[in-house]
Each structure stands twice: as structure tokens, then as C-alpha cells.
Amino acid sequence: MEIQLQALIDQIKKDGVDAAVTEAEAVLNAAKAEAEKIISDAKADAEKILINAKNENDRMVKSSEDAIRQAGRNLLISFRESVAKEANAIIAGNVTAAYSAEGLTQLVMKAVEGWTAKPDAEDITVIMNSEDLKSMEETLLAGLKEKMANGVTLKANDNFDGGFRIAVNEGGAYYDYSAEAVVDMLANYLSPKVTALLKEAE
């Protein structure tokens, strides 16, 4: 009886130890699996963070490069506009100098001579602003005296500052030699040449 009791105790101990070992192994395996999952998730998160950081860095680099390119384009456009403005100012200064009282008188005389030489040009009217006409009328009338018989007349018009306009055949044809028109014409002529020079310098 005593032997059976001892055997029963030994069996209970063995069963308890086996159960404890099994449970410990299960806990250990679960902990190991959880640790592996945590490590795997951490690696995945780290990879996502690295990818996002790389994408953000690429985006910032591209954005910076685009901003630099745009700034360069803006600078070039601003420089071209500045050169064009300066060229226009030089042109306007030269036209104003050419349209001084003496120069303008000679230009009008040459233009009228050219028009009166055309057989189909009749009723030539020279149009100037009233201030220029007043200061040059006497000289122009003397110079155009022979031409007046062919229908050359002088007329004041204050819709433009300097230069002159010519109307022929009772206004059927109209030619603008005003300072503004000549500056625009010269600027339009020079603009492509200036642009080409600037492109060569790039």
C-alpha cells in the first residue's frame, strides 16, 4: 500500500513537471513568435520610414531643382526685359535727337520731296503737333514754297508728341513718322537681334 502511494506521488510529480515543462515551452514559443513578429513589424516599419524619407528627399530635391530652374528662367526673362527697356530708351533718345527742330525740318522736307515725286500722290498733308508746327512753320513754308502749288499743306494735330505724319490723296493713304511709331518700328526690328545675341551668350 505504501509502495502504491509512493508510485502515485511519483506519477503526480512527473505529470506536474511534464505539464509545467509543456506550458513553459508553449509560453516560450509564444514569446518567441511574438518577438519575431515585433522584429518583423519593426523591420517593415523601418523600411516604410526609409522609403518615405527617400521619397520625401527626392521630392524636396526635385522641388529645389525646379525652383532653381524657374528662378534662372525668371532672371533671364527679367534681364532680357531690362535689356529691351534699355535699348528702347536708347532708341527713343536717338529718335528725339533726330527729331530736333533742325533735324525734323530736314526729315519733313525729304519725305515731302519723295512723295511729290510720285505721279499718283496728290493733296499731300504734313501733320505735326502744334508746338513743332509753330516753331518750324516759317522754315517749312519757305522750303515747301515750290511744292505748295502741288497741293502740299501743313496741319496741326496734338494727338502725338513728336515727329510727323503724312496723309496723301485726301487721306486715302496715311504714313506715320511720329516719334512713337518710329521708336516702335526700330524696337521691333532690333528686338529679335537682341534676343539672338542674348541666346548666344547663354
Same structural domain, 59 and 121: no
- Which CATH number goes with the domain that contains 127? 3.30.2320.30
Q: Of 83-92, 142-151, 192-201, give the range with the top mean pLDDT.
A: 83-92
Same structural domain, 94 and 108: no
Q: Write out pLDDT tens, residues 131-190.
A: 888 878 777 777 776 555 556 788 888 888 788 888 887 666 778 888 888 888 888 877
pTM score of the predicted model: 0.52
Q: Write out pLDDT tens, residues 152-162.
A: 788 888 888 78
Domain termination residue (choose one: 76, 98, 120)? 98
Same structural domain, 91 and 140: no
Same structural domain, 53 and 86: yes
Residue 38 belongs to domain spanning: 1-98
Domain termination residue (choose one: 80, 98, 116)? 98
Query: DSSP per residue over 31-70, as a string?
Result: HHHHHHHHHHHHHHHHHHHHHHHHHHHHHHHHHHHHHHHH
